[in-house]
Amino acid sequence: MTLVLGGARSGKSRYAESLIEARPGPWRYVATAQAWDDEMRERIAHHRARRAPPWETVDAPRDLPAVIRQAPAGRPVLVDCLTLWLTNAMLDEAADLAAETDALVEACRSAAGPLVLVSNEVGFGIVPENALARRFRDEAGRLHQRLATTADRVVLVVAGLPVTIKGDA
């Protein structure tokens, strides 16, 4: 399992795709985006435009652990991205966030094939004035720590360049 962290427009998705594409296809792309507004729809379109068969796309804005568990054994899986999944879970008032993140960590730990997770590193700015943004930052940071412990490899992408912070470069 590889965790790919990066800032906004850091090239983290493209780098994560290159890791998957280095293996024999088909490759499974797990999209977590929910198209709430035009800006998001545009970003989704931008990402989709880069993928064609042998990529197969599965949407998982909410039940990400199940989608990871259901991938065929040996199938390379790219999850892009955890940040959006976490946002969706936090905005769902009926959700049990602790239980969901536990389930996600467990699904990643026992994935049957190569798994690459993409997520935004969001903790290097000034404390946000917005309370939800502060909570999001805390939850994202904790989730990254848990996944980094389990991951074989953790990479921080800066300006499109991978900086390996765990595992082999």
Chain contacts with a second copy (rule: CB under 8 A): 3, 5-11, 39, 121-131, 133-134, 136-142, 144-145, 147-149, 154, 156, 158-161, 163, 165-166
Residue with tokens 């990254």: 144
Nearest distance from C-beta of residue 48 to a second copy, angstroms: 17
Residue 72 CA to its chain's centroid (Å): 19
Rounded CA gap, 77 and 105, in Å? 15
| Residue 9 CB neighbour total at 10 angstroms | 9
47 is catalytic: yes
Instruction: Output the smallest distance, CB 145 to a second copy, in A.
Output: 4
Q: How far is the CB of 29 from a second copy (least distance, A)?
A: 21
Q: Which residues pair with 4 in a beta bridge?
A: 118, 155
Please identify, using beta-carbon distances, which residue of 107 and 119 lies nearer to a second copy: 119
Single out the catalytic residue among 2, 16, 30, 47.
47
The DSSP symbol for 125 reads S
**Catalytic sites, residue numbers:** 47
